[in-house]
Structure 1
């Protein structure tokens, strides 16, 4: 049996994914509103496939409970999927992990047989070795004998989380080589996924997660930096240039008909957003500085992610009168998601308003309610794409929703700024 602590985007996907493979899973979360929604079979956020999987597995082999004692005492594997937000200085806040570990380790039943504590939450390299292990040991347990502790980073993309979990390209486990019981358990629960399992040191596992996300943010910022040069030089077909760039055979697998998916990150836009890339890039930057290193590339990545928004805003200021009605197309940070955290649209709307643009109407197929509840902006919201087009004199595409792409001819009837380069040349 498995207990998953934290039923957000990562935790719920993890719990339902193991349930799909036939394991019994307990889910625990401290957010009562979220828990009540899940008990009713409702998803508290949008993520394809999870709603139907929740309804299928709920109370069959996935059980939501507030009884940590029962869940933990009957589970071999306890997975921590709690939040690790950054503080105002960019340092990762580990308090949710320590609180969850304390609650678990305070249970006497936890010591009656070996259990593996699996940290799936994203934490900076060396966290498990230097912070979590000493904390666990302070509860008078013997790591490797009574309790196992390991890092198991997630590689889930919002909008594709279910497929990423069920069909992983790799499973990374950071565990001490001496902990044979822990590795046996890992193999037992991950064997049905038929994916390569890489057993590495805990530091290495944590490092791999940050390598993954900061490389993606670097690719995006590189593309945006070059797009600013292209705009400034003029007469450059930016979208076509990047699409031709990706025809280089080094972007392809051995099957040349299938481009490498990572190539899509080498493409200009209006900056990266969401929860993971901004948070993890800033966290790794902060860690470098704490160690008195000079992370010039990461500093440039963060700086470019801000500069691209200012640069694109200047284009709007030169071409759009302040009395015009501006239609913002896309409020989520990416398509197939209702997540508005660090959304480029947030900053664009703020900057436009600060510059005196007061006639703003926004539309998104999924994220309007989330955007309204998170940000109190004095703008209007459209009920449909048609409504937005009809009421706007200028349109700004900030998220590459398929609906926008399918209606590109209609969008081009208005003054159009395609800041995602998704509507063709």
Structure 2
């Protein structure tokens, strides 16, 4: 049974969610304030890069998938899914302004409508948000009671660059609900996907998302701390983590030591959980350490390049990789950013290359040079810093002969096997 779904927010999560639900046979309307995104989606052109997204948009835009700036579709929908941003406040807590605004608009659109409707939060929000903000806002602005409205919290677990695969083949589906009827509607929505469904309370579902991301971030910072120790002892940290990760109690994922984590989720979510804990009188020492280690880690790249090259003033430093990870153009909290900032501060001549993220990074660093190719970025470079694990970088070999000799090649991500390459943790 197909449903009519309204997605509030056409950003990364909202667009991928809407596109995938349309691909599964549902009618989807994405509500977005950015007219450029609206036009792009309706033309079947993805406003962001995500593998497989363009094909889904071309297939479904104009038939099962639509974008608009109007909330009119909400009244005709079975489900409204809130996918707006929750950016960090200066103190690290989550800014819930867009969540509240979306809930208000949904409520207004449902006024004088008696059709049963489920409001679902997919945005990452602190425990209690759905129950204490979304639910009362929708009820107050719609004038409707609990018999005709249901509320769910359905967190997303999408990896950028692999989000389509993750949506269609999830490890699990978490549904927090206010009542059984709302839960059943959400279960029906996911009925064609083969994954275990975790049914829980609204607040537990919200906490599951923060817990999952914070645990993964902790594994990364732990691996980096072990890597820093191994570096001093002359031990290959990748051998160490391979041996440790084969223990089924530990697992092999997220144990790759390197320059640290970035992106739109891990830094923000760990900081938000710290803020939440401290608001109830708990000091999360481990989570504070996770952030502290991650902030220090990319600066170790600068320690290495100074050790190998000396004074960086006037030196030509090639930075390979600007996106926070491969297969995306997202630079949010990329570990390249603090590295480039420090190189500029020390007077280095920075030249950068990334297959997808140069346009985005140019908005942040307009004064550095952006190369058209890998060969251009390496030519006459005094040093090369590899910051993103793009597969094409792993095949580099003869290209390093274009650098000043002997080449100084430093890795923040372990992807190249050459004797002259030195890693941040190995």
TM-score (norm 1): 0.92
Equivalence for 2:187: 187
Query: 2:180 and 2:95 mapped to 1: Cα distance?
Result: 31
Equivalence for 1:254: none
Equivalence for 1:63: 66
User: Within 5 A, what are the aligned runs for 1:99-114?
Assistant: 99-109=101-111, 111-114=113-116
1:148 to 147, 150, 156: 150
| More displaced 10-residue stretch of structure 1: 123-132 or 23-32 | 123-132
Equivalence for 2:237: 238
State whether structure 2 residue 356 is matched by structure 1 residue 353: no
Equivalence for 1:257: none
Contact 2:375-2:399 at 8 Å conserved across structures = no
TM-score (norm 2): 0.91
Query: How many Å apart are 1:249 and its aligned residue?
Result: 5.3
Query: 2:336 and 2:414 mapped to 1: Cα distance?
Result: 15
In the comparison of the two structures, how many residue pairs are matched?
409
Query: How many Å apart are 1:138 and its aligned residue?
Result: 2.7
Q: Deviations over 1:24-73 (max 9, x none)?
A: 1111101112112222222111110001111110011112223312x112
Distance of aligned partners of 1:112 and 1:199 in 2 relative to their CA distance in 1, 3 Å threshold: same
Query: How many Å apart are 1:107 and its aligned residue?
Result: 2.5
Equivalence for 1:98: 100
Distance of aligned partners of 1:212 and 1:22 in 2 relative to their CA distance in 1, 3 Å threshold: same
| More displaced 10-residue stretch of structure 1: 208-217 or 376-385 | 376-385
Distance of aligned partners of 1:361 and 1:175 in 2 relative to their CA distance in 1, 3 Å threshold: same
Equivalence for 1:255: none
Equivalence for 1:340: 331
Matched residue SS, 2:379: helix
User: Within 5 A, what are the aligned runs for 1:9-158?
Assistant: 9-69=12-72, 71-109=73-111, 111-139=113-141, 141=143, 144-158=146-160
Distance of aligned partners of 1:110 and 1:171 in 2 relative to their CA distance in 1, 3 Å threshold: farther
Matched residue SS, 1:278: helix
Contact 1:228-1:311 at 8 Å conserved across structures = no
Equivalence for 2:264: 275
Gaps of 5+ in 1: 252-259
State whether structure 2 residue 267 is matched by structure 1 residue 264: no
Query: 1:173 and 1:264 mapped to 2: Cα distance?
Result: 25
Equivalence for 1:385: 374
Distance of aligned partners of 1:249 and 1:63 in 2 relative to their CA distance in 1, 3 Å threshold: closer
Contact 2:111-2:143 at 8 Å conserved across structures = no
Contact 1:111-1:147 at 8 Å conserved across structures = no
Query: 2:112 and 2:47 mapped to 1: Cα distance?
Result: 31
Equivalence for 1:200: 200
Matched residue SS, 1:139: helix
Distance of aligned partners of 1:378 and 1:148 in 2 relative to their CA distance in 1, 3 Å threshold: same
2:386 to 383, 397, 400: 397
Contact 2:10-2:31 at 8 Å conserved across structures = yes
Matched residue SS, 1:105: helix
State whether structure 2 residue 168 is matched by structure 1 residue 166: yes
Query: 1:232 and 1:64 mapped to 2: Cα distance?
Result: 54
Query: 1:135 and 1:78 mapped to 2: Cα distance?
Result: 14
Equivalence for 2:407: 414
Query: 2:167 and 2:177 mapped to 1: Cα distance?
Result: 20
Query: How many Å apart are 1:416 and its aligned residue?
Result: 0.6
Distance of aligned partners of 1:333 and 1:108 in 2 relative to their CA distance in 1, 3 Å threshold: closer
Matched residue SS, 2:192: helix
Matched residue SS, 2:66: strand
Query: 2:240 and 2:327 mapped to 1: Cα distance?
Result: 26
Distance of aligned partners of 1:376 and 1:104 in 2 relative to their CA distance in 1, 3 Å threshold: same
Contact 1:111-1:146 at 8 Å conserved across structures = no
Contact 1:27-1:63 at 8 Å conserved across structures = yes
Contact 2:127-2:204 at 8 Å conserved across structures = yes
Equivalence for 2:301: 312
Query: 1:409 and 1:249 mapped to 2: Cα distance?
Result: 40
Root-mean-square deviation over aligned CA pairs? 1.8
Query: How many Å apart are 1:238 and its aligned residue?
Result: 3.0
2:279 to 286, 290, 304: 290
Query: 1:411 and 1:116 mapped to 2: Cα distance?
Result: 57
Matched residue SS, 1:25: strand
